[in-house]
Structure 1
Amino acid sequence: MESNNHNNTEEYPPDFSEAYDKCLWRFAINAAPQIYDLYLQEEFKGEYQNRLLDLCCGPGHLSHFFLERGFFTTGIDLSETMLQLARERSKEYENQSEWILADASHFDLGKHFGLVVSTFSSLNLLPSLEQLTKCFQSVYKHLEKGGTFIFDMTTRLGAEYHNNVFFRDMGDYTIITNGYFNKEGCKASLHFLGFFKTDDSSCYKKFEHHQVETLYKITDVEIALKETGFNDIQYYVYGITGVQAIPEPENVVNVIVKTRKCV
């Protein structure tokens, strides 16, 4: 996940990176098996079918799920602090994982993958459709023919849902999220404030972070994907027993987009 502070180029403050790792990991853990199953449905048999590129990988929770299943993974993120957490998490898989400081809107890794993923609405942090399109172009370049690209996004309906204050107290951590949706500008502002227990449980550490998300029309996203060269675009939502296909992607809070590189 990338920070959107100051042109989307600064990394998270260390305290927030640590808080993200300790407090906001559940989404990746829940999403990983559903994305894995969705990918397996393709029955893709490419040269790089077991190579994963995790865009905006954060502390590497999703990648770790794939590492445990024999994938070779590459994670990119703008935050070196996040990448270091991912390296520590994947020490036992150091021969099949790498973590690279890079911008999701424009990257060149010089290799190909069978699967590229981005979760937790990280691509909403790209501030313009132009940058989102450049991201799609970079992904397309790195996918082998027939490869799959799966990502999720917060919709405008989702931004309206988050236009509120949320409080969560889990014992080991407390987090308050204050969301504001600017309908005219199609931007959502999220402010995180909270405390988490240190590893030795001796005290709590405070964290605070502010980020801005861009709420794209899914029709614009689809056009950008098609103009890049992607085809077979499908929409899903996360579910209790797995992803579920949906006909109207704008009518959900968070949408999963799955598409493929033309063979």
Structure 2
Amino acid sequence: MTYNRFAYLYDELMNDVPYDKWLHFVNDVFQKYEINQPTILDIGCGTGTLPILLAKQNYTISGVDLSEEMLSVAMAKAEQERVQIPFYQQNMMELEGFNQLDCITIFCDSLNYLHSEDQVLRTFEKVHESLKDQGIFLFDVHSPYKIEEIFGEETFFIDDEELSLVWSCTQGEQPLSVEHDLVFFMKEENRDSYERFEEYHIQRTFPIETYRALLNQAGFEVKEMIGDFDQTVEETTERIFFIATKK
């Protein structure tokens, strides 16, 4: 999956995403587990919004993403914000070149772009290799409830003078998966016409018990699971956070 031109529109479309909640979540975990001055790797960093926020708090952080276009935007933003963040183009299942890190994060449902248990396990194993002993692994995923009940067979709309989006969701062929068809209409510069282009994405999640089993198989101990940033995980939780440590 490549974001292509979507990368350059991503921040505009995601301007209401609560990145401050991810920031507070990370800070709360570091405080609770007494992690001081950690070295962090953010996998699936996208256009770099969260790494930039963390860098501004004087954390040592790097970013990894599969999309070259996303990383180009991230590097430009980091330069504009005057923070030093190394960004690398890598597949999370083939992560290499990192070791003895204090913390690795995979946020904003990036892990849901993996479509099989084997892919998830391979990623967990690569994360394990890159962490120091007792290093902490933080990630979030869509819940089964969100995949089946919130996305379901729904269509969402964003209508703006410069950019409009028709986002259609359909149940995927695999269990607990969703297919996203995105059609964009972007106003052409100095013209009254709009350019149309499309993106197609598939996301899949797994039951909590599957993630726990794969983490254990990869050599992690699950410390906590949290729902929707700061709640108890319940049947209607939409986003599930995992806190795990390297055994």
In 2, distance between residues paired with 1:117 and 1:197?
36
* Residue 128, structure 1, aligned to residue 116, structure 2: yes
CA 1:172–1:137 in 2, change beyond 3 Å: closer, same or farther? same
- 1:232, distance to aligned residue in structure 2 (A): 3.5
Match among 6, 16, 19 for residue 29 of structure 1 = 19
Identity across matched positions, percent: 20
**Which whole-Å deviations, capped at 9, do the CAs of 1:24-50 have from their partners, x for residues lacking one?**
25436244323223322334346xx43
Aligned residues: 244
Equivalent position of 1:159 in the other structure: 147
Map of 1:259 onto structure 2: 244
Range that drifts further, 140-149 or 93-102 = 93-102
169, 174, 179: which one aligns with 1:189: 179
1:101 is matched with which residue? 89
What is the one-letter code of the residue matched to 2:105?
V
Q: Tell me by how many angstroms 1:73 deviates.
A: 1.5
Residue 259 of structure 1 aligns to which amino acid in structure 2?
A
The reply to whether residue 244 of structure 1 matches residue 230 of structure 2 is yes
Mapped contact 1:54–1:73 kept (Cα < 8 A): yes
CA distance in structure 1 between the partners assigned to 2:27 and 2:82 by the alignment: 24
What is the TM-score of this pair, normalised by structure 2? 0.87
Structure 2 residue aligned with 1:7: none
What residue identity is the alignment partner of 1:17?
A
Secondary structure in 2 aligned to 1:37? Answer: helix
2:166 maps to which residue? 176
Counterpart contact for 1:114–1:143, Cα < 8 Å: yes
- CA change 1:222–1:43 in 2 (3 A) is closer
Is 2:219 aligned against 1:233? no
State the distance in 2 between where 1:207 and 1:35 align.
Answer: 35
Q: Residues 204-219 of structure 1: matches in 2 within 5 Å?
A: 206-219=196-209
CA–CA distance in structure 2, aligned partners of residues 108 and 42 of structure 1: 29
| Pairing 1:91–2:91 present | no
Q: From 131, 141, 144, give the equivalent of 1:143.
A: 131
What is the CA distance between 1:206 and its match in structure 2?
Answer: 4.0
- How far apart, CA to CA, are the structure 2 residues paired with 1:86 and 1:202? 29
1:167-209 deviations in Å (ceiling 9; x for gaps): 12355532221111247633210111223567x7877654421
Measured in 1, the distance between the counterparts of 2:18 and 2:97 equals 24
**Are the equivalent residues in 2 in contact too, given 1:28–1:119 (CA < 8 A)?**
no
Shift in Å, 1:147: 2.0
Q: Check conservation: 1:25, 1:61, Cα contact below 8 A.
A: no
Three-state SS of the structure 2 residue aligned to 1:100 is strand
Q: Write out per-residue CA displacement over residues 80-137 of structure 1, whole angstroms, 9 at most, x where no aligned residue.
A: 1111111111116777311111001121123332221112211111111101001011
Q: CA RMSD in A?
A: 2.5
* DSSP-derived class of the 1:90 partner: helix
Aligned-partner Cα distance in 2 for 1:78–1:136: 16
Summarize the Cα distance change of 1:184–1:130 in structure 2 as closer, same or farther, 3 Å threshold: closer
Matches within 5 A, 1:41-80: 41-45=31-35, 49-80=37-68
TM-score by length of 1: 0.82
1:15-70 Cα shifts (integer Å, max 9, x gaps): 21111132125436244323223322334346xx4321111111101111101101
1:52 aligned counterpart, secondary structure:
strand
Q: Is the 8 A contact 2:233 2:240 kept in 1?
A: no
Report the equivalent of 1:12: 3
- CA–CA separation in structure 2 for the residues paired with 1:201 and 1:222: 53
1:221 aligned to 211, 218, 222, which one?
Answer: 211
Quick check: 2:146–2:237 contact (8 Å CA) kept in 1?
Answer: yes
Query: Which structure is higher in RCO with an 8 Å CA cutoff and minimum separation 6?
Result: 1
